[in-house]
Every structure is written in structure tokens, then in C-alpha cells.
């Protein structure tokens, strides 16, 4: 890397034995830098504290990693000053952050600063938010229409859409999330006087004021008691151990978590409960708060000020339990006795930007560091966890039955190859319609699942064959009927739906295929007088929508809920007696080695949504691949046989959990630049001993399955190693570059290779 040399402090000064601090600086290098500790800072420079250090002529912040008395080999520059009295990182979070950096090949300075909220690092504690609003809504609307098809306006246009739909301004974080943009288009629009920013008091954290009536523990079921009998002694032993709580949906896993949490707190220790963001609903939190009142909830929609406040409460020891998505694993708690990862199979536990850690592996590491019990919970264990069990690293505790004897729903598979389906695009089999009729007339509620958003999924000219595709990504555009626009699901780019073919001007443009919007519309047509609602990325982006849908479903206002995987997760409605899977094939067709696993998990989760009350539930799965092992096993609720099948497949190709993957992705507007850097790495790798002796295999370089994304050409190179250590040793040799023309990213243990 250019300028590498100047990162090493030079400059000769004193050479006597001195205190020497190793510092992980906030620059992209993989090693620590050494500095002398000036006398007046002795005692303040301790591991985990932030310091300011010189690099060349710059001053940079960094975290102190170690302090030792040494005779330095060369002369050392002194560090400048210490930024806080009490280190933000505890010995455990420091060790964990360094492990993350090493294991995932991330610069340690970057990995460590990701552990402390920005507002804490910058000393911003005030509870203010930035509100973004339109200066003149009518003018903004016109402007947006004028530039609808201009490539350079895509992100600005999304910002305007979000603001126009919101009506009266949005908080900056909301704009960034809803419009899926960086701040740059907002800045541009502000300079052009289209939007303005205003500081406003932060919105109250919607989860902060939950009512939590204290509740009593129920009498445990036999299975729950057996699981706790196994776990409590391990918790008390204060030694690292890890278990999987493998329990079907509704088997009472959460009750086991609650009892473990209570025991941990009673023993004077602290705990972390990780859940997928999507599960952080008022419903789940109220349940936790009813039993464990002093909890810090760290969800991603917190304002900066609220995040800082929650973090501070943990840091000060005022609360002893952190609940949140993956980043809550780094909570500044001391004396952690218990770490729970619920829904451990969820891929959202993997962070998709540097440091690209997986919270499951990092949780196991924190458990080792803290001598804690780590409990992974799920109905459908990941193949990685199955691999850990097979190797004897963790054990499995089972909750095979639903609490209260509720039975798992009967699952029927409908072979769509032999169906004469009804509805647009043939979305309903006759059997499904019949069962829907029955369920409704028995007073039940229905969920229809399809993992595809929008109205039509293919827009095609019947005259010349033109297809509406994104010019920035290799994907077809999806038509949304309500807004009559075409949207790219990869980059969010959108344009007006064409009245005629843009190539041959033929008016015969055909809209076909279906997503949830069309399913909902067709359902309304087939069941007039019934209340049909939709729950997908589009409808959920409105503020308060998840809570409203949940409430209306629970109150029986909604008869039929159509949704994507948002619906598959966590909705616990006793009166849902039928779940229809419109198509089980959407995930199966994805060319990723995890597509079978995804499909199996999704089918099991969807099935778990029904029959949660006293009535028996039923599931109908429509598919064109009825023999597929994922679908067959899901229909029998048979995880064991699916795991056996899938692990054999993985072993055959040395995919995880057998092999360990590192994926190197090169992205560039210029395909040749991406190809070149990977070809060079590949050539270089030929001389590595691990490659020469065959321990490590290389696949590629090849174009990624999604070869173009947001205008970037994408190629990748895959290394498959036999064990974790071998793979760790490769990481420092891989190219890392990020500039305008080329970005190389390294993804260890990727959850997808698209
Ligand atoms: P899971 O987390 O495995 O999906 P839950 O913990 O949500 O299962 O339990 C399902 C339902 O059963 C919940 O409504 C819960 O309150 C209830 N429940 C759990 N354990 C018991 C028990 N021992 N006795 C009575 N009800 C229980
Ligand atoms: Zn045409
Ligand atoms: Zn696109």
C-alpha cells in the first residue's frame, strides 16, 4: 500500500527503557503501532483507553492494546494525549475486538472503534435529532418528475420520494434507511434549496416506554426442566460452555432464556441476549421486561442520543442485561455470565460491512473470554451449528413439543406442475382456495406467504422481446402497481412504467409474474368482503406499520395477511389456522450453496406461524419441485433428515461447515480492473505453501452470480481451507484496496456468495 512507510513512527529520540504502548490506530493497517508513553501520562495509558498519536504529520486516534516496559529497538515517538479517564473498552471487549480483527482480517483500529457508539466517542450526548424536510413540497414533486429517468438523480429522487410520502419531514436516520442512500444526495438537495435540515428534540425511543407488568414464571414443562437441569450447573460453574437449544416454534425456548437470565442476575453477573432486529417487537420486549426489568435495548433505530444513553447505562453498571441485534454482543458489560443468541440460524447475525463478523462465532469467543455460558436457540439450526455439534464442540438440548400439547400443523405439498391453478399467473391451486374457504368459514385467520415483493416481476415487449432490466444491476425490474413504477430490488433505482416499448415503440408491453402486491389484490378479488392486508418491505416502511398490523391481526380485524419473510418471523397469533405458501421455489432457484438450507428454514418458520392456539393448523405449500429434500423434510418437520442430507452435500464440495471459506470480491465500474486484481491474487497464491500442498483450494476468479450491482462490475475469488487457523493465516496476504476505481473486500465465512 502506498504511504505504508510513513505509518511507522520514525524520528530518533531517547533510547532508555521506557513504557511502550501498542496502539490500534484508526487507519486501515493490520498491525498495531508502538509509541513511547510520556512520563506525565503514566498510569493513564492503560489497555482499552483511547489516545491521540502522531502518524507522519497527522494526529490520529487509536485504542491502547497493551502497555509494557521495554527497551525499544529504535527510538519511538511519544503518544500525544489520553482521551478519557476510564477506558471505553473493558478487558473483555478489547480482547473480543482484537479477535474480530484478527479472525476476519479487519484493521484492528477500525474493529475497535466500531465497538463504541459514535456519540460516545465524539462526546455528543444531547438528545437532538436532525430533521430533514422539504422546502416546498409541490416544487419537490415537480422536480422529481422532471428528473425521473436521469441516472444521476436516482438517489436524490429516492430521498424526495421518502420525504413526499412522509408528508412532514423525516429524521435523518430514517431518510437514510428508507431511501437507502448516504448523506451525499441530501447534501446536494440542501445546497439546491430543495430540502433543509433542522435540529429537533429526539423522538422518544418507541421501545423505551413499554409497560411491563411483572409476571410469574409458569410451571415448567418436562422438556424445559430437563434443559434447565442441564444448563444451570454449567452457568454456575463459571466456565465457558456452549449449547444449542433446539426447540420447535412454540416449544418454550424463551421461558428457558428467562430463567437463565434470572439466575445469572441473581448470581451477580450480567447477560447479553441477541435477537434478530426483526424480532425486537414490543411483544417480545414486554415479555422480557415482565421478568427482567432492568434491560438496555440496543436496536438500530435508536437516535444517536438514545444509543449513547443505553450504552452508558451498561457501561456504568446501572443495567445488567443488554438486548439487541448483533452489535449488542459488544455491550460494555463486566462479568458476563450468559450470552444467548436466539434464532441463531438468521443470516442477519453476519455483519455485511467491515468488520464482517458473525455474531454466533463472536459470541462463542466472548463466552470463552468471559467464562460464560453461550446458548444458541432455534427451531432450525444452521449447518454451522450442526457442524459444531458433530465435532463435539457444543451439545444439543431438545424441546421437541409445543407447550400445552399444541401439535405442529399438518403440511400438504401441492405439485403445481399438475395443477390447473386459479388467479393471475396461476397463483392459487384449487386445494389452497378450498382450504382458505374452509378456514375462513370456521372463523380462522390465514397467512399467505410469498418471498417476492411488488406486483409483476417481468415486464416484456411482446413485439421485440425487450425486457425491463436495471441498467446498473443484472436484474429485471419489478412493477409496483400502486405507484405504477418499475423498481430495481438491488439498487432501489426506479422509473416510470412504460406505456410502450422503449425499443420498438410497440404498445404491447406485457406484465407478468407476481409478487405480494398482486397476490393481495387477487385475494381481495377472490374473497370479497374479507379484510386482506399486506406485510412486506413496502408496507412495513411506514412508521408504526408493524405494530398496527400486529394489533389488527391479534384483534381479528385482518382475515388474510399476505406477506414476505417479514411474516414468517415471530408473529404469534393463536387464531391463524391456515398458512399458504404461494411458491416455495423463490429461494431454491438462487444459485447459492445455502439455498436449500434457506428454503428449509423458511418453510419451517412459515409453518410455525399456524396452529399456535388450541385449534390444529394446516399448511399448504405450492411448488414446482415437490421432491426437493428441503421441501420434503420441511413438510415432515424433520430437521434431522434434512441436516443429514445437507451436511453430506456440503462435505462433498468442501463447503461449510466442512471447509472454511474466504471470499474476495472485487468491485469496479471497470470490469477489467476487477478481473486484473483477482487474477494477480490468484497468480500470487500459486506460490503459497497451503495451495501447493493442496490444503487450500482456490475457485475463480469468476464473475459473481450477481455480476453487476449499482453500476459496479463484480468478480470474486473463493478460498476454501480445511480449518480456521489455516484460513486466518491467508488473510494478511489478500489484497485490500478501496479507491474510486476499485474496491476489494474480504469476507470470511460469508453467509452468501452472490
Ligand atoms: P418459543 O420461544 O420456543 O417459540 P415460547 O417461549 O414463545 O416458545 O412459548 C410459546 C408459548 O407458550 C408462549 O405463549 C409462552 O408464554 C408459553 N409457555 C412457555 N412455557 C410455558 C410453560 N411452562 N407453561 C405454560 N405456558 C408456557
Ligand atoms: Zn419492443
Ligand atoms: Zn439496480
Return mean pLDDT, the chain.
Answer: 88
Of the candidates 331, 314, 358, the one whose C-alpha atom is nearest the C-alpha of residue 100 is 358
The three cell numbers of residue 627 are: 421432491
CA of 509 to the centre of ligand 2 (A): 7
At residue 624, the pLDDT reads: 92
CA of 464 to the centre of ligand 1 (A): 58
Judge contact between 676 and 744, C-beta under 8 A: no
CA of 451 to the centre of ligand 2 (A): 29
Of the candidates 626, 589, 619, the one whose C-alpha atom is nearest the C-alpha of residue 604 is 619
CA of 470 to the centre of ligand 3 (A): 5
Q: How far apart are CA 386 and CA 103, in angstroms?
A: 21
DSSP, collapsed to helix, strand or coil, labels residue 407 as coil
CA of 574 to the centre of ligand 1 (A): 12
Nearest ligand, CA of residue 474? Answer: 3
Per cent of the chain over pLDDT 90 is: 52
What would the pLDDT profile of 413-462 be if each residue is shown by its tens digit?
A: 999 998 888 888 789 999 999 999 999 999 999 999 998 889 998 899 99
Give yes or no for residue 381 CB within 6 A of ligand 1: no
What would the pLDDT profile of 620-636 be if each residue is shown by its tens digit?
A: 999 999 999 999 999 99
What would the pLDDT profile of 657-712 be if each residue is shown by its tens digit?
A: 999 999 999 999 988 988 999 999 999 999 999 999 999 999 989 999 888 888 88
Of the candidates 309, 354, 349, the one whose C-alpha atom is nearest the C-alpha of residue 332 is 309
Q: How far apart are CA 396 and CA 385, in angstroms?
A: 10
Q: Which domain holds residue 379?
A: 222-398
End residue of a domain, out of 170, 201, 232: 201
What would the pLDDT profile of 137-180 be if each residue is shown by its tens digit?
A: 888 888 888 887 777 788 898 899 889 887 778 888 888 888 88
pLDDT band at 7 (very low <50, low <70, confident <90, very high): very low
CATH number at residue 731: 3.30.70.600
Do 442 and 560 lie in a common domain?
yes
Task: Count other Cβ atoms within 10 Å, centred on residue 420.
Answer: 7
pLDDT band at 396 (very low <50, low <70, confident <90, very high): very high
What would the pLDDT profile of 82-124 be if each residue is shown by its tens digit?
A: 998 889 999 999 999 999 999 999 999 999 988 988 878 887 6
Q: What is the DSSP letter of 467?
A: B
Do 540 and 571 lie in a common domain?
yes
At residue 96, the pLDDT reads: 97
At residue 4, the pLDDT reads: 42
Total structural domains in the chain?
Answer: 6
Q: How far apart are CA 419 and CA 417, in angstroms?
A: 6
More confident residue, 743 or 199: 743
Per cent of the chain over pLDDT 70 is: 94
Do 472 and 334 lie in a common domain?
no
Do 732 and 602 lie in a common domain?
no
At residue 11, the pLDDT reads: 47
Judge contact between 302 and 327, C-beta under 8 A: no
What would the pLDDT profile of 313-347 be if each residue is shown by its tens digit?
A: 899 888 999 999 999 999 999 999 999 999 999 99
| Mutate-to-test residue for ligand 1 from 252, 610, 611, highest number of ligand atoms within 8 A of CB | 252
Do 540 and 595 lie in a common domain?
yes
* Lowest mean per-residue pLDDT among 24-33, 262-271, 400-409, 440-449: 400-409
Of the candidates 47, 44, 40, 77, the one whose C-alpha atom is nearest the C-alpha of residue 62 is 47
Give yes or no for residue 400 CB within 6 A of ligand 1: no
What would the pLDDT profile of 48-77 be if each residue is shown by its tens digit?
A: 999 999 988 899 999 999 998 876 667 788
Do 526 and 618 lie in a common domain?
yes
Do 495 and 530 lie in a common domain?
no
Give the residue, by CA position, lying nearest to ligand 1 atom 25.
218
CATH number at residue 145: 1.10.10
CATH number at residue 570: 3.40.50.300
Judge contact between 275 and 257, C-beta under 8 A: no
Q: What is the DSSP letter of 216?
A: P
pLDDT at 39 over 90: no
Torsion sign (Cα): 476, 480, 485, 491? negative
Do 288 and 350 lie in a common domain?
yes
pLDDT at 559 over 70: yes
Amino acid at each position: 500500500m502506498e504511504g505504508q512507510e510513513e505509518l511507522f513512527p520514525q524520528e530518533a529520540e531517547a533510547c532508555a527503557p521506557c513504557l511502550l504502548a501498542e496502539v490500534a490506530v484508526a487507519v486501515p493497517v493490520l498491525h498495531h503501532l508502538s509509541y513511547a508513553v510520556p512520563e506525565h501520562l503514566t498510569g493513564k495509558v492503560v489497555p482499552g483507553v483511547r489516545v491521540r498519536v502522531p502518524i507522519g504529520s497527522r494526529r490520529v486516534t487509536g485504542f491502547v492494546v497493551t502497555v509494557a516496559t521495554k527497551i525499544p529497538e529504535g527510538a519511538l515517538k511519544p503518544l500525544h494525549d489520553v482521551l478519557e479517564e476510564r477506558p471505553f473498552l473493558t478487558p473483555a471487549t478489547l480482547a473480543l475486538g482484537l479477535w474480530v480483527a484478527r479472525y476476519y482480517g479487519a484493521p484492528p483500529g477500525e474493529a475497535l472503534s466500531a465497538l463504541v457508539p459514535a456519540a460516545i466517542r465524539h462526546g455528543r450526548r444531547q438528545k437532538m435529532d436532525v430533521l430533514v424536510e422539504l422546502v416546498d413540497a409541490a416544487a419537490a414533486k415537480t422536480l422529481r418528475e422532471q428528473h425521473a429517468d436521469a441516472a444521476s438523480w436516482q438517489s436524490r429522487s429516492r430521498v424526495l420520494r421518502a420525504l413526499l410520502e412522509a408528508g412532514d419531514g423525516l429524521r435523518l436516520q430514517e431518510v437514510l434507511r428508507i431511501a437507502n442512500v448516504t448523506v451525499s444526495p441530501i447534501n446536494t438537495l440542501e445546497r439546491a434549496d430543495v430540502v433543509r435540515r433542522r435540529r429537533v428534540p429526539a423522538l422518544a425511543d418507541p421501545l423505551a416506554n413499554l409497560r411491563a407488568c411483572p409476571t410469574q414464571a409458569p410451571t415448567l414443562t418436562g422438556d424445559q426442566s430437563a434443559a434447565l437441569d442441564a444448563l444451570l450447573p454449567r452457568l454456575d460453574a463459571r466456565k465457558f460452555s456452549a449449547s444449542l437449544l433446539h426447540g420447535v416454534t412454540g416449544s418454550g425456548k424463551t421461558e428457558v432464556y428467562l430463567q437463565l437470565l434470572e439466575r445469572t442476575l441473581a448470581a451477580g453477573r450480567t447477560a447479553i441476549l441477541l435477537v434478530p432486529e426483526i424480532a425486537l417487537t414490543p411483544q417480545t420486549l414486554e415479555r422480557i421486561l415482565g421478568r427482567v426489568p432492568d434491560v438496555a435495548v440496543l436496536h438500530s433505530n435508536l437516535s444517536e442520543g438514545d444509543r449513547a444513553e443505553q450504552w452508558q447505562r451498561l457501561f456504568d453498571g446501572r443495567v445488567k442485561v443488554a438486548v439487541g441485534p448483533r452489535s449488542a454482543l459488544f455491550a460494555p458489560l463486566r462479568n458476563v455470565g450468559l450470552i444467548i443468541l436466539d434464532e441463531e440460524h438468521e443470516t442477519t447475525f453476519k455483519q455485511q460491512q467491515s468488520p464482517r463478523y458473525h455474531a454466533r462465532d463472536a459470541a462463542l469467543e466472548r463466552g470463552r473470554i468471559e467464562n460464560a455460558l453461550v446458548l444458541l436457540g432455534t427451531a432450525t439450526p444452521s449447518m454451522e451449528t450442526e457442524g459444531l455439534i458433530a465435532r463435539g464442540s457444543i451439545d444439543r438440548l431438545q424441546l421437541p413439543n409445543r407447550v400445552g400439547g399444541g401439535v405442529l400443523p399438518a403440511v400438504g405439498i401441492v405439485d403445481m406442475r399438475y395443477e390447473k391453478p386459479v388467479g393471475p399467473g396461476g397463483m392459487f391451486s384449487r386445494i389452497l382456495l378450498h382450504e382458505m374457504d374452509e378456514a375462513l368459514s370456521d372463523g380462522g385467520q390465514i397467512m399467505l406467504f410469498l418471498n417476492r415483493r411488488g406486483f409483476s416481476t417481468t415486464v416484456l415487449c411482446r413485439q421485440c422481446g425487450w425486457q425491463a432490466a436495471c441498467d446498473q444491476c443484472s436484474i429485471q425490474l419489478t412493477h409496483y402497481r400502486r405507484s405504477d413504477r418499475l423498481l430495481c430490488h438491488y439498487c432501489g433505482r426506479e422509473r416510470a412504467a412504460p406505456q410502450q416499448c422503449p425499443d420498438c415503440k410497440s404498445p404491447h408491453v406485457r406484465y407478468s409474474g407476481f409478487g405480494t402486491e398482486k397476490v393481495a389484490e387477487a385475494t381481495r378479488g377472490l374473497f370479497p368482503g374479507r379484510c386482506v392486508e399486506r406485510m412486506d418491505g413496502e408496507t412495513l416502511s411506514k412508521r408504526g406499520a408493524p405494530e398496527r398490523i400486529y394489533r389488527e391481526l391479534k384483534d381479528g380485524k385482518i382475515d388474510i395477511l399476505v406477506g414476505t419473510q417479514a411474516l414468517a418471523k415471530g408473529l404469534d397469533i393463536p387464531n391463524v389456522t391456515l398458512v399458504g405458501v404461494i411458491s416455495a421455489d423463490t429461494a431454491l432457484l438462487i444459485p447459492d450453496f445455502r439455498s436449500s438450507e434457506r428454503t428449509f428454514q423458511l418453510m419451517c418458520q412459515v409453518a410455525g406461524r399456524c396452529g399456535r392456539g388450541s385449534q390444529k393448523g394446516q399448511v399448504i405449500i405450492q411448488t414446482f419441485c415437490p421432491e426437493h429434500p428441503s421441501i420434503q423434510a420441511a413438510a415432515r418437520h424433520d430437521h434431522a433428515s434434512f441436516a443429514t442430507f445437507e451436511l453430506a452435500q456440503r462435505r462433498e464440495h468442501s463447503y461449510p461447515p466442512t471447509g472454511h471459506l474466504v471470499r474476495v470480491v472485487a468491485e469496479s465500474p471497470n470490469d477489467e480492473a476487477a478481473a486484473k486484481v483477482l487474477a494477480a491474487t490468484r497468480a500470487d497464491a500459486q506460490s503459497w505453501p497451503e495451495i501447493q500442498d493442496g490444503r487450500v483450494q482456490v475457485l475463480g476468479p469468476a464473475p459473481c452470480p450477481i455480476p453487476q450491482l449499482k453500476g459496479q462490475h463484480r468478480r470474486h475469488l473463493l478460498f476454501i481451507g480445511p480449518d480456521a487457523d489455516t484460513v486466518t493465516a491467508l488473510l494478511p496476504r489478500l489484497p485490500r484496496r478501496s479507491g474510486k476505481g476499485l474496491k476489494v473486500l474480504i469476507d470470511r465465512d460469508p453467509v452468501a456468495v452472490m
